[in-house]
């Protein structure tokens, strides 16, 4: 049905967007879980620094984030050069780079949702597990994560939906390459800047809106379902 | 073999608990005291959930915490189990899952009942596949106890484990608890603020008040001391009596002074089954005007609260003969 409604160009843009946002979630989810877990613990030295790092993309201009990524992971950057030389991986100007830029930008949203879920877990349960011989690492895997998973799921879906709309960081770090890094917002921008492509821009904007709404509804629904399963 | 606290101090906000104790690592030790005495805090410190602010804690010779030496064994390495007042069952697991959580983490060498065995013993075999949020308070208590027993601790702490149970279940549960402690050789420390429960369960008693140990020892001794009596409400004052057939479920029973009648001569033709002859050891007027008569009988000391009128009618005197009459249901 989607195939019948969308043109080949629109399908390609949508699939690039979904691929970039999906990979961004996969990249950032494990790191976001660790950050959220650390931030939900009682105060420890360095927690404020960790909190600042996690929330930095929220307050920095996206273009600046893209520029910083370019400096670090560009072909001539210290990390980018090492990646290229060691693994043959290039991030700048590739779909992988678009996913990394998107992951960085949606990271704070994901950390926030997961952290709230960790914080909502009754701390007394960890004490109960400790006196049953569960080590801190064991308690994380056997209790913290299973109890927080509605939040983890919601964080992932919200980050995915937000990732579909990421513009500034992606265009700066990965540029606007059709079929490679041209996601929905980049394609809308390109169409708007091309005379006679207003209708294309409008159709792409509509697709973007529908995908975002579906994403948010899915996040809400999944969270409710998971919580019902957990609490009965 | 004992749990030793020397100069131990636990601090939470403005409240401070100080303890210098040696608790035998066998049978059931009861920590008794009014609300806010620091009973739960003591258990938390022993389990390793609350740090000592000063002093030393060791169990069977192994130092678990020594503030001066900066030694602290974490809770998961202490092999000390704790049954919380609010059960703290894991909500994402079924009853079986909760008990298996403990089973999977106990050392292979430790001998302890398995899930099915303990669920039969505590009568919740039919609940094994239920999610825990469907359980009643009493069922949660039983599952929490089962989980702790299955983890095969070297010492088991229980914080008011009977709080959610009704009278009959309470007694059954107390009996099972003593049995488990005996059969598996697991010493237990049980917190309670109910004097009957303390008398029924205890092989050893620790009485706390406002963060201090006021007395400790065998129940026949500790529970008969004035310091212990002062912790009790007037209506709860009484005496610890050695258990016998038909007496409670444990080693001892608490006989309330309000439940004991006194006869100046041997009573005849009455329904009470327990009539104990003895001598009056003391007669004390209580602040509320009632008279507290202490009798030495072959069951030990028995207290009776009577009115001043009864005292003058019966012409009771210290050193004189008297009979204590106790209805069976008071035991």
Task: Return the CATH number at B304.
Answer: 2.40.50.100
Q: What is the pLDDT of residues A217-230, one digit of tens each?
A: 887 888 788 777 77
Q: Report CB contact under 8 Å: B133, A125.
A: no
Question: What is the predicted pLDDT for the residue at B247?
Answer: 44
Strands of the B188-192 sheet, one edge to the other: B80-83, B155-159, B188-192, B28-32, B204-209, B212-217
Shortest distance between the Cα of A132 and any Cα of chain B, in A, equals: 6
A205 close contact with B: CB closer than 8 A: no
Quickly state the pLDDT bin for A133 (edges 50, 70, 90). Answer: very high
Which residue did the predictor score with more confidence, B251 or A66? A66
Question: What is the predicted pLDDT for the residue at B158?
Answer: 96
Which residue among B81, B92, B131 places its CB closest to the CB of A131?
B81
A147 close contact with B: CB closer than 8 A: yes
Quickly state the pLDDT bin for B78 (edges 50, 70, 90). Answer: very high
Mean pLDDT of the residues in chain B:
89
Q: Does B26 share its domain with B85?
A: yes
Interface test with B, best of A121, A131, A136 (most B CBs within 10 A): A131
Question: What is the predicted pLDDT for the residue at A187?
Answer: 92
Which residue among B76, B90, B134 places its CB closest to the CB of A133?
B76
Distances (CA, A) of B47 to A23, A69, B32, B42: 45, 49, 18, 9
A146 close contact with B: CB closer than 8 A: yes
Question: What is the predicted pLDDT for the residue at B249?
Answer: 46
Q: What residues does each domain of chain A span?
A: 19-231
Q: What is the pLDDT of residues B308-325, one digit of tens each?
A: 999 989 888 899 999 999
User: Angle at CA B243, nearest 5°, toward B241 and B249?
Assistant: 120
Q: Can you tell me the ipTM of this complex?
A: 0.87
What is the DSSP-derived secondary structure letter of residue A140?
I
- Residues in A closer than 8 angstroms to B78, CB to CB, are 131
Interface test with A, best of B92, B108, B157, B189 (most A CBs within 10 A): B92
Quickly state the pLDDT bin for B4 (edges 50, 70, 90). Answer: very high
Instruction: Provide the sign of the torsion angle of the four alpha carbons A49, A52, A54, A57, taken in this order.
Output: negative
Shortest distance between the Cα of A226 and any Cα of chain B, in A, equals: 11
β partners of residue B284: B292
State the CATH number of the domain containing residue B215: 3.40.50.300
Q: Does B117 share its domain with B218?
A: yes
Which has the closest alpha carbon to B199: B255, B154, B260?
B255
Residues spanned by the domain of B313 = 238-330
Q: Does B253 share its domain with B219?
A: no
Residue ending a domain, choose from B199, B214, B231: B231
Q: Does B261 share its domain with B146?
A: no
Quickly state the pLDDT bin for A136 (edges 50, 70, 90). Answer: very high
Residue ending a domain, choose from B231, B255, B286: B231
Quickly state the pLDDT bin for A188 (edges 50, 70, 90). Answer: very high
Separation CA B187–CA B165 (nearest Å): 22
Residue ending a domain, choose from B171, B197, B231: B231
Question: What is the predicted pLDDT for the residue at A53?
Answer: 93
Q: Tell me how many domains chain B contains.
A: 2
Separation CA A203–CA A231 (nearest Å): 42
How confident is the model over B15-34, as a mean pLDDT?
A: 93
β partners of residue B204: B29
Q: Does B60 share its domain with B157?
A: yes
Q: Does B218 share its domain with B280?
A: no
B130 close contact with A: CB closer than 8 A: no
Question: What is the predicted pLDDT for the residue at B331?
Answer: 66
Looking at chain A, which residue has its C-alpha nearest residue B83? A128
Give the CA count within 13 Å in the CB-facing half-sphere of B76.
Answer: 14
Q: What is the pLDDT of residues B229-249, one digit of tens each?
A: 889 988 888 888 876 544 444
A131 close contact with B: CB closer than 8 A: yes
Shortest distance between the Cα of B68 and any Cα of chain A, in A, equals: 23
Quickly state the pLDDT bin for A61 (edges 50, 70, 90). Answer: very high
DSSP for B25-47? SSSEEEEE--TTSSHHHHHHHHH
- Helix H segments across B26-166? 39-47, 95-105, 115-121, 137-150
Interface test with A, best of B85, B97, B105, B129 (most A CBs within 10 A): B105
B79 close contact with A: CB closer than 8 A: yes
Q: Does B202 share its domain with B267?
A: no
Q: Does B306 share its domain with B209?
A: no
Question: What is the predicted pLDDT for the residue at B330?
Answer: 63
Quickly state the pLDDT bin for B327 (edges 50, 70, 90). Answer: confident
How confident is the model over B146-166, as a mean pLDDT?
A: 90
A132 close contact with B: CB closer than 8 A: yes
B47 close contact with A: CB closer than 8 A: yes
B80 close contact with A: CB closer than 8 A: yes
pTM exceeds 0.95 for this model: no
Q: Does B105 share its domain with B177?
A: yes
CB atoms closer than 10 angstroms to residue B107: 10
Q: Does B221 share its domain with B266?
A: no
Separation CA B178–CA B158 (nearest Å): 12
> What's the topology of domain A19-231?
MetI-like fold (1.10.3720)
């Amino acid at each position: 049905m989607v195939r019948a409604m969308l043109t080949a160009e629109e399908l390609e843009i949508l699939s690039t967007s979904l691929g970039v946002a999906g990979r961004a979630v996969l990249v950032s989810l494990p790191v976001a879980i660790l950050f959220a877990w650390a931030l939900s613990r009682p105060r420890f030295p360095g927690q404020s620094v960790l909190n600042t790092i996690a929330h930095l993309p929220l307050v920095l201009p996206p273009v600046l984030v893209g520029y910083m990524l370019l400096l670090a992971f560009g072909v001539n950057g210290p990390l980018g050069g090492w990646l290229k030389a060691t693994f043959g991986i290039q991030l700048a100007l590739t779909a992988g780079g678009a996913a990394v830029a998107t992951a960085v930008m949606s990271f704070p949203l994901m950390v926030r949702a997961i952290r709230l879920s960790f914080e909502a877990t009754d701390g007394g349960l960890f004490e109960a597990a400790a006196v049953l011989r569960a080590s801190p690492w064991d308690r994380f895997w056997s209790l913290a994560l299973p109890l927080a998973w509605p939040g983890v799921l919601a964080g992932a879906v919200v980050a995915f939906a937000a990732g579909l709309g990421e513009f500034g960081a992606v265009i700066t770090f990965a540029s606007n390459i059709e079929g490679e890094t041209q996601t929905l917002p980049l394609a809308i921008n390109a169409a708007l800047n091309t005379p006679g492509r207003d209708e294309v821009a409008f159709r792409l904007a509509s697709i973007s809106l529908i995908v975002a709404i579906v994403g948010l509804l899915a996040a809400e629904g999944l969270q409710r379902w998971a919580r019902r399963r957990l609490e009965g | 073999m004992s749990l030793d606290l020397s100069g131990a101090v636990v601090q939470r906000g403005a409240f401070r608990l100080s303890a210098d104790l040696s608790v035998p690592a066998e049978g059931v030790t009861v920590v008794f005291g009014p609300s806010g005495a620091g009973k739960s805090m003591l258990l938390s410190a022993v389990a390793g959930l609350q740090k000592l602010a000063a002093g030393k804690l060791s169990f069977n010779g192994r130092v678990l915490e020594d503030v001066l030496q900066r030694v602290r064994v974490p809770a998961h390495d202490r092999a000390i189990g704790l049954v919380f007042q609010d059960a703290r069952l894991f909500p994402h697991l079924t009853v079986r899952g909760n008990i298996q959580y403990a089973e999977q983490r106990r050392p292979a060498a430790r001998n302890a009942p398995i899930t099915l065995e303990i669920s039969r013993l505590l009568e919740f075999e039919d609940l094994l596949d239920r999610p825990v949020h469907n359980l009643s308070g009493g069922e949660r208590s039983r599952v929490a106890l089962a989980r702790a027993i299955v983890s095969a601790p070297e010492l088991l702490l229980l914080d008011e484990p009977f709080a959610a149970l009704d009278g009959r279940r309470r007694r059954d549960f107390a009996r099972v608890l003593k049995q488990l402690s005996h059969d598996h050789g697991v010493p237990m420390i049980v917190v309670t603020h109910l004097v009957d429960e303390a008398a029924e369960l205890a092989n050893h008693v620790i009485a706390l008040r406002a963060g201090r140990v006021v007395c400790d020892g065998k129940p026949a001794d500790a529970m008969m001391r004035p310091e212990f009596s002062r912790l009790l409400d007037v209506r709860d004052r009484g005496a610890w009596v050695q258990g016998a057939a038909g007496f409670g479920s444990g080693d001892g029973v608490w006989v309330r002074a309000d439940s004991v009648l006194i006869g100046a001569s041997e009573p005849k033709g009455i329904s009470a089954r327990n009539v104990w002859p003895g001598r009056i050891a003391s007669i004390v007027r209580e602040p509320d005007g009632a008279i507290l008569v202490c009798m030495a009988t072959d069951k030990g000391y028995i207290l009776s609260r009577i009115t001043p009128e009864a005292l003058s009618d019966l012409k009771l005197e210290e050193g004189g003969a008297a009979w204590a009459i106790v209805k069976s249901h008071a035991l």
